[in-house]
Amino acid sequence: MIVRRPLANLIAATAVFFATTTVSVARDAVLEGKQNWLFAGWESLTITKPAAEKSSIGLIAGASRQFTKKNIKLIVLIVPLKPRYYEPLLPDGAAMSDDIRKRYDMLLTELRASGVTAIDVRDAFKTVVAGKQEVFYRADFHWTTFAAEASADEVAALILSSGPLPGKAGTGMKLGDWINDRHLGDLAANFLSPERKREIGPEAYVIRQAPKVAAGLLDSDPAPVAVVGNSFVQPYFGFSQRLSNKIDRPVSLKWNPGDVGPWATLLQYLKSSEFAGHPPQFVVWQFNEAQLQNGPDAVGEWAAQSITSPADWNARLQEALRN
């Protein structure tokens, strides 16, 4: 069942990320760019980690093969770096290195070569930009609802191209009306001084109003699609709701703040009663681009309880899928 979380979770999701990080990282949490645009300081614009990325891709490919044995299709969605779309607004002297510029294509190429279905959401982002809308918020780490919904449309088209889904027509999420929700972006709210917060100021978040759903409507219908990810896919931004609307079926959602990490979040979903009772036909696994360089053993990147060796993570995955 999709449940809309309060706005407080939007702010908390990024704050929690830094609860377990080092002091030096927290100090450099924000890059203050031109025209009051803010960028995540923890995402390097110059350094890539090819060996670590290859290791992560190997784990994802292994997971995809295990899902296939259960007749489940894995779809990987990687959200690009915000500076890819706003590089002219970075601080003076800051720019992406050639390795960073090439990384998104490299990740997609290697995932696909490993047999993983990975969509290129840059195609979806192009439609947003063409419509003269933003793909990321000015003072926020997250994508806009426009970018989230365009990406959901791309995923929905891929899912529907595979053939009819089980379940009943009319069980998809009904989308709410557009509303403006004005507040500080999370990068400003969590990491800037009171003076800078006032100077940065709030911005308008164009989001969907939560529609009224008949009691029990989604509970009574198993979801053929599950979304697993971080705060980018939290209900506030509308990804799962739009996906459900487009495929006209329920969509289940498992998300955690960024510090939990994609590896632990997937295992949590696979150990859930929802998965055990109604395994989906499709799992959409969302990452941020920079997260691919951090495996399940990346100490300092994930909360302590999320840390495990790649071998142990793989063993837990196989165990969860055997049950």
Residue 22 scores a pLDDT above 70 = no
Residue range 188-198, pLDDT digits in tens: 999 999 999 99
Residue 2 scores a pLDDT above 70 = no
The 3 state secondary structure assigned to the chain is CCCCCCHHHHHHHHHHHHHHCCHHHHHCCEEECHHHCEEECCCCCCCCCHHHHHHHHHHHHHHHHHHHHCCCEEEEEEECCCHHHHHHHCCCCCCCCHHHHHHHHHHHHHHHHCCCEEECCHHHHHHHHHCCCCCECCCCCCECHHHHHHHHHHHHHHHHCCCCCCCCCCCCCCCCCEEEEEECCHHHHHHCCHHHHHHHCCEEEEEECCCCCCCCCCCCCCCCEEEEECHHHCHHHCHHHHHHHHHCCCEEEEECCCCCHHHHHHHHHHCCHHHHHCCCCEEEEEEEHHHHHCCCCCECCECHHHCCCHHHHHHHHHHHHHC
Rounded average pLDDT over 246-260: 97
pLDDT band at 220 (very low <50, low <70, confident <90, very high): low
- The pTM of this model reads 0.92
Residue 316 scores a pLDDT above 50 = yes
Regarding predicted confidence, which is higher, 46 or 3? 46
Residue range 53-92, pLDDT digits in tens: 999 999 999 999 999 999 999 999 999 999 999 999 999 9
Rounded average pLDDT over 227-235: 98
Task: Give first-to-last CA distance, the chain, whole Å.
Answer: 22
Q: What are the tokens at 71?
A: 């007749």
| pLDDT at res. 3 | 37
Rounded average pLDDT over 311-318: 98
| pLDDT at res. 229 | 99
| pLDDT at res. 114 | 99
Q: What are the tokens at 168?
A: 């009943």
Residue range 198-218, pLDDT digits in tens: 999 999 999 999 877 644 444
Residue with the two structure tokens 């998965």: 275
